[in-house]
Amino acid sequence: MTAYILPIEKPEKMVQIHVPRYNPEVDATPEMLTYTVPFVPTMTVMQALEYLWDQGEYIAFRSNCREFTCGSCAILINGEPRLACMTVLQDGMKLEPLSLFPTLRDLVVDQTKLLKKYANLRLWPDNPRVCFDDFQVSPQTIRRYGDIYSRCVECYCCLEACPSVAVDWESYAGPMLMIQLARVGEHPLDQEDRLKMAVANGLYLCTTCKKCEEVCPLDISCPRDVTENFRAQVVDRGIGLLKGHQEVIARIKENGKYTTAKGKSFLETVREKEEMGNPVDRVAFFVGCLADLHLQDSASAMVDVLKRNRVEVVTPKEQICCGSPLIRIGEVGLAEEVVLKNVDILERSGVERVVTICAHCAFTMREDWTKILAAKRGRSPKFEVFDISEYLARKIQINTEDLKPLTMSVTYHDPCYLNRGLDVSKEPRELLKKIPGVRLIEMEKSDRCCGGGGEVKDGAPQFAKAITSVKIKSIQKTSAEAVVTACPHCVEQIAEVSADSGASYQCFNIVELLSRSYQG
Amino acid sequence: MEHWVKEVVECDVLVVGGGGAAAFSAISAQEDKARVVMADKGQLGKSGCTPNAHGGMAVAHLHPEDSWRVHFEDTLYGGGFLNDQRLVEILCKESLRFIPKLETFGAIFDRDQNGNYRLRTFGGHSKPRSVYSGDATGHELMTSLKREVMRRNIPILNEMMILCVLVDEGRVTGAVGLDKASSNLCLFRTPAIILATGGGVGCWPAAAERQMGDGYCMALRAGAELVDMEFTQYHPTHTWWPYGVRGSVSESVRSEGGQLTNSRGERFMKRYSPERMELSTRDFISICEYREITEGRGSKSQGIYLSVTHLPPEVIENRLRTVFNKYLVYGYDIRKEPMEIRFRPHYSNGGVLVNERMESRVSGLFAVGETAGGVHGGNRLGTNSLIDLVVFGEIAGREAADKALKQGHTGKIDRDAVREEGERIERLVNGNPREGIRAMSIRRPHTEMMDLYMGVFRNESGMKKMVEEVEKLKEDDLPRLYVADQSKRYNYELIDALETFVRVDIEEVSTRGALMRKESRATHYREDYPKMDNQQWLKNLVFSMENGELKHRFKPVDKSVLDPENIPEFFDSDFPWHESEI
Ligand SMILES: Cc1cc2nc3c(=O)[nH]c(=O)nc-3n(C[C@H](O)[C@H](O)[C@H](O)COP(=O)(O)OP(=O)(O)OC[C@H]3O[C@@H](n4cnc5c(N)ncnc54)[C@H](O)[C@@H]3O)c2cc1C
Ligand code: SF4
Ligand code: SF4
Ligand code: FES
């Protein structure tokens, strides 16, 4: 038999990759080198590195299975943590070692710190080790092991990407370790109180930003599958609930609002119906607690923008908190009550579409409400929910004629619940580009969490602020005059911490910018 | 000697490796009160083949017609009756009690609504008996073992490549290792060593390309014997094209109706095995694929087409979810396009010759897992490996601990051998670049040659060519081998060079063995001797090394439980691939 020709010997094209070569023993700093490698369709980054080995360029990197089961090969590829064996090679890719750990050489990092944390969590079933021949494992446990826990290859991508780990790994163990804690906690032979361990390891420091889920090569979601589950158990068992969260729950129980008013409530002043002849559409406005009680300007701007687009707006005055804070805290029972009440109110208004200006509301209404309604009433809501950017960019023909120039440079921050939650990131940018005179300057990692979500800011405000500080640095780097976003939680968090640090830019919701432009 | 050695570690039992067999041995040795140290070339839990095993582990004789004896016979038929029957008996009788044990360590295996383990059937097993955890059985096994190792605080030296075993008067006294992080040598003083370094298919272009067979080489050079090394298992459906997808394509693709076709679109298996078609044994399909490719009917990229495009999309999306998703990651949709696959080496069936205590003929030197030979004979049945790791891991650990504690640290450290290791590394790093040769210039061509001459289809002239190549490698290349990278930290070129020495031994032993065995049996198929010859060849081929030269001997097969001569369907037949009829 003649030797076969390796596909790599007849490449489709040549591509370049950039790798910092670094041996801290002898080099002062990493030297970024560029290598040219052949490309065949579907070829991976790892195959490119292997090709270089074959050429005598022994770039140091770890690997073993080459089919995403061992988790050895995580590196930063164009700044995002990914498995080299799972990432298809593209021209110009930049490969770097994970930044969470010290670099030992080239792409190899020192994971000692992680291994210590791992050992400290005692991730084995804690029991007296007599022989257990006959114990039961519930079908649910088997399912969760199969769908979630056993699939984690411990690649550390999620740890690298997590904004909470980045600010303080001592306080928050991070997604992978939370998943592993949940894994062992669900084992029928484990007798240790894993919930208490989770709380002690920062259960309430996860902003539920879903970045870990986005980077996980196995699509495991820590916030959905682990964090919220654990938090629900905290509430059930009445242990470890933070003071700030108890207050949130108490407020919602008492008057249906997540926070107390600063100034006059928007809902008290707004006209319930903005009627007009020949509307292009008719929608209900779900205001959300923050826009109602703290950021009333954005709520007014919203009504203005809708009117200028000839959309008839109904704003039901009895609407209450969407339930998001309760679900993030783990108070699922109360959340269900709140949701059902809101559904009734909105359905009574008879509209088919509901629009929001809050990423948390939009996500919760679309995802959690649907689930709760299906479970409780066996049906789906009679209305569809849209975030305002999505609505303006996709649902109607936006009125661009009346947009007047605003000379301003802005940068856009992606709210996690909008971007990763509902996959809305292009729409707000399209809108910004429609406003004459507005110049969009993208910041580094615009999708990085601002610290405003997951109820961290009510439970552990200092920790949330530390996350925000990282965000603020990327905003400042752009020198933009304003940071625009699409969620009151982000607006409030960024504005507050920016003010503390004396930043000069403004911060507001995208509808405010639109409304200003309409007003000229 | 001190000049080379930067660190000395003393222990009762040194476990070499960080896969399933290593972890279980370490646990068992510690259970028996020995001070254990593990040294892994990679990282515990991430290295070796164990975390990559998907399918299952053959343990549970829960089917009403199944028993240890049925499992035993299946295993012998698979192995062409070359197996060590005493070991197979232990494997099949002991297996079931390990599942609860692994669950105590933290694993969870799939069960049905009534709490009974779910079972899968694998090729060669006449009954469903493989317990599994979804498609991540090996990963689940490894996760639980790793944590048990951590719970017991067993010291583990990650990224420590053991280079040689030190022996004094036929007894283990220690080992030398290379710390990848610093390139420093580490001396281990220990009366017992368990080699659990996995297989050696990395000498071929294999899925497990990182498994080079270090343990075989170390055992051979320490005076132990290797058995059945001519038998390398091929997996018939290994990914080939699209290029980015690696690893094997699960057997389930064929059991769900996947079709193997050649460049003419013909389901060629109908010419070779009209009844069983795509469901024939791994080796047989590999050989048919080989024929098609050599006769010019290979696929576009000189593989074979494996197609599921005729199946309803729902079947592909649900029942073949793992494979479907795997291809989708690389942007390839197997609902619309065929996969191109190729046979690839998958498992080293042979290994270190051991007794029922898993000890080699060198006192204190144990071998277990894929490193040990004998259990699987000429061919391992699917899912028989993972259970082998734990059953024999337990024995090896216990026996090694026993030996170490009874015997204590006696015997001298062979200082010359340690110095030789140091000098070998110095020679590599300071070699003369002008006439020198670097490791990658040997690795790639030799990998391809092993596929070409020592592949699934073998003949005298090819293997002779390979022997010549090995001689050339030994005489011309090894002395000139040098490492261009001068740094000490994570010098992967140095590792590549050190593995070249391992490669020489693996290539030589397996090729010489295969050349000698003038018949076809189990995974060893010879074009020039296509028939099984029970008169001449129902015996094991055993290699040892004396003064750097390979020596061989024949060992009669073990018939302590079942004498193949009493099974005329097998004994009188000359067909190389048998399966149990039960
Ligand atoms: C893709 C795939 C799927 C498989 N599926 C199955 C299945 O479903 N069922 C089944 O039963 N079997 C399966 N197998 C086979 C099975 O996985 C292996 O045979 C088994 O895991 C080998 O285990 P081990 O502990 O002997 O060696 P390995 O798990 O390979 O471990 C070897 C260890 O030795 C270390 N090592 C190597 N050299 C040195 C050295 N010089 N110094 C120190 N350490 C060293 C390595 O780092 C590694 O930790 C599969 C194999 C593959 C490749
Ligand atoms: S959701 Fe965000 S904060 Fe929470 S674990 Fe994942 S990355 Fe970290
Ligand atoms: S959860 Fe995902 S990203 Fe995190 S370690 Fe596990 S596999 Fe990797
Ligand atoms: S090499 Fe194992 S996950 Fe990439």
The enclosing domain of A93 has a CATH number of: 3.10.20.30
- Asked, for residue B408, whether it belongs to a domain, the answer is no
A208 lines ligand 2 (CB under 6 A): yes
- Asked, for residue B165, whether it belongs to a domain, the answer is no
User: Which residue among B509, B529, B549 closes a domain?
Assistant: B529
- Asked, for residue A454, whether it belongs to a domain, the answer is yes
Count of structural domains, chain B: 2
How many secondary structure helices (H) and strands (E) does chain A include? Answer: 25, 16
Which of B115, B241, B440 comes nearest A7 by C-beta? B241
Residue B581 confidence (pLDDT) above 90: no
Residue A132 confidence (pLDDT) above 80: no
B383 lines ligand 1 (CB under 6 A): yes
Check residue A277 and give its pLDDT: 87
A235 compared with B432, residue with greater pLDDT: A235
Chain centre to alpha carbon of residue A224: 11
Q: How confident is the model at residue B139 (pLDDT cuts 50, 70, 90)?
A: very high
Question: How far apart (Å, rounded) are the C-alpha atoms in residues B375 and A417?
Answer: 55
Are B246 and A136 in contact (CB < 8 Å)? no
The answer to whether the beta carbons of residues B404 and B12 sit under 8 Å apart is yes
Co-location of A351 and A252 in the same domain: yes
Co-location of B244 and B327 in the same domain: yes
Check residue B255 and give its pLDDT: 82
Residue range A411-437: mean pLDDT, rounded: 97
Co-location of A253 and A363 in the same domain: yes
Distance (Å) from the alpha carbon of B498 to chain A's nearest alpha carbon: 14
Q: How confident is the model at residue B122 (pLDDT cuts 50, 70, 90)?
A: confident
- Asked, for residue B290, whether it belongs to a domain, the answer is yes
Residue B26 confidence (pLDDT) above 80: yes
Residue range B380-391: mean pLDDT, rounded: 94
Residue of B nearest to A62 (CA): B42
Work out how many CB contacts closer than 8 A connect A with B: 172
User: Which residue among B322, B345, B368 closes a domain?
Assistant: B345
Q: Is A93 on the interface with B (CB under 8 A)?
A: no
Check residue A352 and give its pLDDT: 97
A213 compared with B284, residue with greater pLDDT: A213
A140: CATH? 1.10.1060.10
The dihedral built from the CA positions of residue B52, B58, B62 and B65, taken in this order, carries a sign that is positive
Residue B354 confidence (pLDDT) above 80: yes
- Asked, for residue A414, whether it belongs to a domain, the answer is yes
Which of A58, A63, A133 comes nearest B100 by C-beta? A133
- Asked, for residue B54, whether it belongs to a domain, the answer is no
Co-location of A275 and A354 in the same domain: yes
**In chain A, positions 179-218, which contact chain B (CB-CB < 8 Å)?**
184, 187, 189
B441: CATH? 1.20.58.100
- Asked, for residue A6, whether it belongs to a domain, the answer is no
Element (H, E) at B24: helix B20-31
| pTM for the structure as a whole | 0.96
Residues 6+ away with beta carbon under 8 Å from A254 = none
Tell me how far the alpha carbon of residue A450 lies from the centroid of ligand 2, in angstroms: 12
Mutate which of A65, A118, A156, A190 to test chain B, going by most B C-beta atoms within 10 A? A65
Q: How confident is the model at residue B434 (pLDDT cuts 50, 70, 90)?
A: confident
Question: How far apart (Å, rounded) are the C-alpha atoms in residues B229 and B353?
Answer: 10
Which of A25, A123, A129 comes nearest B487 by C-beta? A25
Q: In testing the pocket of ligand 2, which one of A160, A162, A178, A328 has its CB within 8 Å of the most ligand atoms?
A: A162
For the stretch A307-353, pLDDT in tens is 999 999 999 999 999 999 999 999 999 999 999 999 999 999 999 99
Q: Catalogue the active-site residues of B.
A: 235, 254
- Asked, for residue B101, whether it belongs to a domain, the answer is no
| Of A363, A360, A391, nearest in space to A514 by CA | A391
Q: Domain containing B277: what range?
A: 235-345
Distance (Å) from the alpha carbon of B285 to chain A's nearest alpha carbon: 17
B244 compared with A165, residue with greater pLDDT: A165
Residue range B503-529: mean pLDDT, rounded: 97
Q: Which residues of A touch B448 (CB under 8 A)?
A: 3
Check residue B568 and give its pLDDT: 94
Check residue A61 and give its pLDDT: 98
Q: Domain containing A49: what range?
A: 13-109
Count of structural domains, chain A: 4
Co-location of A250 and A367 in the same domain: yes
Convert A299-318 to b/e letters by CB count within 10 Å (16 or more is b): bbbbbbbbbbbebbbbbbee
Are A1 and B290 in contact (CB < 8 Å)? yes
Least confident span in A62-66, B62-66, B474-478: B62-66
Strand partners, B37: B14
Check residue A10 and give its pLDDT: 82
Mean pLDDT computed over every residue of chain B: 94
**Hey, what are A54's tokens?**
């074959």
Are A60 and B492 in contact (CB < 8 Å)? yes
Q: In testing the pocket of ligand 3, which one of A70, A149, A152 has its CB within 8 Å of the most ligand atoms?
A: A152
For the stretch A266-292, pLDDT in tens is 999 999 998 888 999 999 999 999 999
B239: CATH? 3.90.700.10
B305 compared with B275, residue with greater pLDDT: B305
The answer to whether the beta carbons of residues A202 and A164 sit under 8 Å apart is yes
User: Which residue among A338, A371, A394 closes a domain?
Assistant: A394
For the stretch A49-85, pLDDT in tens is 999 999 999 999 999 999 999 999 999 999 999 999 9
Residue A474 confidence (pLDDT) above 60: yes
Check residue A130 and give its pLDDT: 67
Co-location of A340 and A279 in the same domain: yes
- Asked, for residue A144, whether it belongs to a domain, the answer is yes
Residue B565 confidence (pLDDT) above 50: yes
Co-location of A133 and A219 in the same domain: yes
- Give the gyration radius of chain B's Cα atoms: 23
- Asked, for residue B205, whether it belongs to a domain, the answer is no
Residue B341 Ramachandran class (φ > 0 left, ψ -120 to 50 alpha, else beta)? beta
Co-location of A293 and A423 in the same domain: no
Angle at B367 between CA B231 and CA B52, to 5 degrees: 65
User: Which residue among A214, A237, A260 closes a domain?
Assistant: A237
Co-location of A175 and A193 in the same domain: yes
Co-location of B434 and B336 in the same domain: no
Q: Is A58 on the interface with B (CB under 8 A)?
A: yes
Please tell me which of A125-139, A194-208, B421-435 the model is most confident about, judged by mean pLDDT: A194-208
Q: Is A13 on the interface with B (CB under 8 A)?
A: no
Of the listed ligands, the closest to the CA of A163 is 2
- Asked, for residue A470, whether it belongs to a domain, the answer is yes
Co-location of A230 and A293 in the same domain: no
- Asked, for residue A402, whether it belongs to a domain, the answer is no
- The percentage of chain A sitting over the pLDDT mark of 70, rounded to a whole number, equals 98
Q: In testing the pocket of ligand 2, which one of A169, A211, A447 has its CB within 8 Å of the most ligand atoms?
A: A211
Residue of A nearest to B493 (CA): A58
Residue of B nearest to A39 (CA): B243
For the stretch A354-372, pLDDT in tens is 999 999 999 999 999 999 9
Residue A2 confidence (pLDDT) above 60: no
Tell me how far the alpha carbon of residue B111 lies from the centroid of ligand 1, in angstroms: 26
Mean pLDDT computed over every residue of chain A: 95
Check residue A233 and give its pLDDT: 96
Convert A347-360 to b/e letters by CB count within 10 Å (16 or more is b): eebebebbbbbbbb
Question: How far apart (Å, rounded) are the C-alpha atoms in residues A188 and A375?
Answer: 27
Co-location of B421 and B331 in the same domain: no
Co-location of A366 and A330 in the same domain: yes
B200 lines ligand 1 (CB under 6 A): no
- Asked, for residue B257, whether it belongs to a domain, the answer is yes
Q: How confident is the model at residue B59 (pLDDT cuts 50, 70, 90)?
A: confident
Q: What are the angstrom distances between the C-alpha of B200 and each of B101, B207, B261, B507, B571?
A: 29, 11, 30, 10, 31
Check residue A21 and give its pLDDT: 97
Co-location of A339 and A455 in the same domain: no
Which of A47, A54, A129 comes nearest B440 by C-beta? A54
**In chain A, positions 430-489, which contact chain B (CB-CB < 8 Å)?**
none
- The percentage of chain B sitting over the pLDDT mark of 70, rounded to a whole number, equals 99
Of the listed ligands, the closest to the CA of A74 is 4
For the stretch A79-115, pLDDT in tens is 999 999 999 999 999 999 999 999 999 999 999 999 9
Residue A439 confidence (pLDDT) above 70: yes
Whether the upstream peptide bond of residue B313 has omega within 30° of 0, thus cis, is no
Co-location of A169 and A93 in the same domain: no
Are A129 and B45 in contact (CB < 8 Å)? no
A73 lines ligand 4 (CB under 6 A): yes
Question: How far apart (Å, rounded) are the C-alpha atoms in residues A279 and A399?
Answer: 13
- The percentage of chain A sitting over the pLDDT mark of 90, rounded to a whole number, equals 93
Mutate which of B112, B116, B243 to test chain A, going by most A C-beta atoms within 10 A? B243
Please tell me which of A3-17, B119-133, B386-400 the model is most confident about, judged by mean pLDDT: B386-400
| Of B414, B404, B372, B409, nearest in space to B389 by CA | B372
Residue B47 confidence (pLDDT) above 90: yes
Q: How confident is the model at residue A19 (pLDDT cuts 50, 70, 90)?
A: very high
Check residue A1 and give its pLDDT: 44
- Asked, for residue B189, whether it belongs to a domain, the answer is no
**3-class DSSP string for B336-355:** CCCEEEEEEEEEECCEECCC
Placement of tokens 């790791």 in the chain: B389
Tell me how far the alpha carbon of residue A203 lies from the centroid of ligand 4, in angstroms: 29
**In chain A, positions 137-156, which contact chain B (CB-CB < 8 Å)?**
137, 139, 141-142, 145-146, 150-151, 153-154
Which of A44, A58, A127 comes nearest B244 by C-beta? A44
Q: Is A362 on the interface with B (CB under 8 A)?
A: no
Check residue B209 and give its pLDDT: 77
| Of B140, B143, B142, nearest in space to B132 by CA | B140
Are A47 and B244 in contact (CB < 8 Å)? yes
Residue A469 confidence (pLDDT) above 70: yes
Residue B170 confidence (pLDDT) above 90: yes
Question: How far apart (Å, rounded) are the C-alpha atoms in residues B542 and B368?
Answer: 17
User: Which residue among A237, A267, A291 closes a domain?
Assistant: A237
A63 lines ligand 4 (CB under 6 A): yes
Residue B97 confidence (pLDDT) above 50: yes
